[in-house]
Amino acid sequence: LTIDSAELRLVRLPLLSPFTIATGTMYEKLFPLLTLRANGVEGYAEGVMDPLPDYLDETIAGSMMLLRDVLIPQLVGRSFENPAAVESLLTPWRGHYMARAMVEMAFWDLFAKSLRLPLKTLLGGERNAIDVGVSLGIGPVGNTIERAQKHLELGYKRIKLKIMPGHDVKLVEAVRKAMPDAHLTVDANSAYTLADMDIMMALDDFNLDYIEQPLAWDDIHDHAALQPRLKTAICLDECIRSAQDARKALASGAARVINIKVGRVGGYLESRRIHDICAAWTLPVWCGGMLESGIGRAHNIHLSTLANFRKPGDTSSSSRYFAKDIVNEALEAVDGRMPVPQGPGIGVTLDRPFLDSVTVSTEHFPA
């Protein structure tokens, strides 16, 4: 498969409502969108990095620099037999997992389309729909209970509450009281330390499915100190960017669940290694999200068809986030099940006029 051209856009989509997590509030979704072309076929991927390095250390500006100056020029005009050949071009670079993921993911979409197969089939997934829950941003207690109840009634399979110091034990206590039997989880986005044992012990009493990333974004060691002191499973998100990270986390007992975001860990091949290591330890994984547009959402859905994705993911209906999406197909969950988009590759197509209207900048390769 010879990559004959590529396109790198920066896209800005307004969010229907602001999304607050421990590290700050998002008012819009800004993301790079990569297109790779070969023989009249196009593969797409979006980046999950933020404008500022507040979730992880990657940024949109840094990623776009690496893509523009290094990664895309290495691809265009060259031929690749398969995704592994593309990955081997990316592995020498330190870090930049999110930028590398964009290249690998866009190539998988292109590769699957040129074989006329759905991406899930190439990956070895089998389901036609995946279980999903919702992630609720930080807000007032009463309002959070209302949002949680509404989404349970819609059939979502799990409610994840974002927490931060000052918005934790009382919030979770109130939501748990309102829905005693719901699958409930919390996500701290690294807002606590081992000095917050009293809060961790209090959260441990609410029968949560897991506590997501309570401690520092780069600290597997401290999670390994915390996990044995809790009944509740710890789920790692930020800490896991590679299969080596997963191995260290599992071997040290730092987590009993892992959140895989294909856009965070460098792509599908690495996602599958993490998925398989967890399966070997009989631990479940689930697919996280980053408020993606329809392109990233479709990628997440295909990944979630693999067998060890045994807990509901974060890929909820696109209409929860955006008044209008950049893809033509509706990505909407029904009774907590998100159907896998049909058709070759990721199974969604771009609404080009709308995409153009929300595009901030476009670069062409070759220029």
Beta bridge partners of 35: 7, 44
**Residue of 63, 144, 185, 189 that binds ligand OSB (CB under 6 A):** 189
Q: What is the DSSP pairing of strand 211-212 with strand 234-236?
A: parallel
Sign of CA dihedral 243, 281, 157, 238: negative
**Residue of 46, 245, 314, 325 that binds ligand OSB (CB under 6 A):** 314
Total binding residues toward ligand OSB, as defined by CB under 6 A:
12
108 binds, among Mg ion, ligand OSB, none (CB under 5 to 8 A by kind): none
- Please name which of 108, 21, 15, 103 lies closest in space to residue 63, comparing C-alpha atoms: 103
Strands (E), the chain: 5-21, 24-38, 41-46, 129-131, 134-136, 159-162, 184-187, 211-212, 234-236, 257-260, 285-287, 337-339, 359-365
58 lies in the binding site for ligand OSB (CB under 6 A): no
Residue numbers 118-157 binding ligand OSB by CB under 6 A: 135
289 lies in the binding site for ligand OSB (CB under 6 A): yes
In the bound state with ligand OSB, the residue whose beta carbon lies nearer, of 87 and 270, is 270
- 83 CB burial (10 A radius; 0-12, 13-18, 19+): buried
Tell me the per-residue interface mask from 218 to 257 with Mg ion, x by CB under 5 A, - otherwise: -------------------x--------------------
Residue 311 annotated as catalytic: no
Q: Which residues contact 74 (CB under 8 A, 6 or more apart)?
A: 89
In the bound state with ligand OSB, the residue whose beta carbon lies nearer, of 55 and 107, is 55
Q: Which of 113, 120, 160, 162 is catalytic?
A: 162
| Residue 134 to residue 187: CA distance in whole angstroms | 12
In whole angstroms, how close is the CB of 234 to Mg ion at the nearest point?
12
In whole angstroms, how close is the CB of 296 to ligand OSB at the nearest point?
9
**Residue of 258, 290, 301, 306 that binds ligand OSB (CB under 6 A):** 290
Residue numbers 146-205 binding Mg ion by CB under 5 A: 187
Q: What are phi and psi of 323, to 5 degrees?
A: -70, -35
From the list 39-47, 219-227, 283-291, 343-351, the region that binds ligand OSB by CB under 6 A is 283-291
CA 175 to each of CA 115, 140, 147, 192, 327: distance values in angstroms, whole numbers, following the listed order? 48, 11, 10, 21, 35
Q: Which of 113, 120, 160, 261 is catalytic?
A: 261
Q: Find the Cα–Cα–Cα–Cα dihedral 216, 255, 123, 31, rounded to 10°.
A: -20
In whole angstroms, how close is the CB of 19 to ligand OSB at the nearest point?
6
- Amino acid in position 73: P
In the bound state with Mg ion, the residue whose beta carbon lies nearer, of 209 and 329, is 209
Question: Are the CB atoms for 48 and 15 separated by under 8 Å?
Answer: no
**Which residue bears the tokens 């109840």?**
149
In the bound state with ligand OSB, the residue whose beta carbon lies nearer, of 107 and 286, is 286
**Residue of 58, 87, 131, 237 that binds ligand OSB (CB under 6 A):** 237
291 lies in the binding site for ligand OSB (CB under 6 A): yes
Question: Are the CB atoms for 12 and 46 separated by under 8 Å?
Answer: no
Residue 162 annotated as catalytic: yes
In whole angstroms, how close is the CB of 239 to Mg ion at the nearest point?
10
Question: Are the CB atoms for 111 and 122 separated by under 8 Å?
Answer: yes
Residues that bind Mg ion in the complex, under the rule CB under 5 A: 187, 212, 237
Task: Supply the residues annotated as catalytic.
Answer: 162, 261
Residues that bind ligand OSB in the complex, under the rule CB under 6 A: 21, 55, 135, 187, 189, 237, 288-291, 314, 316
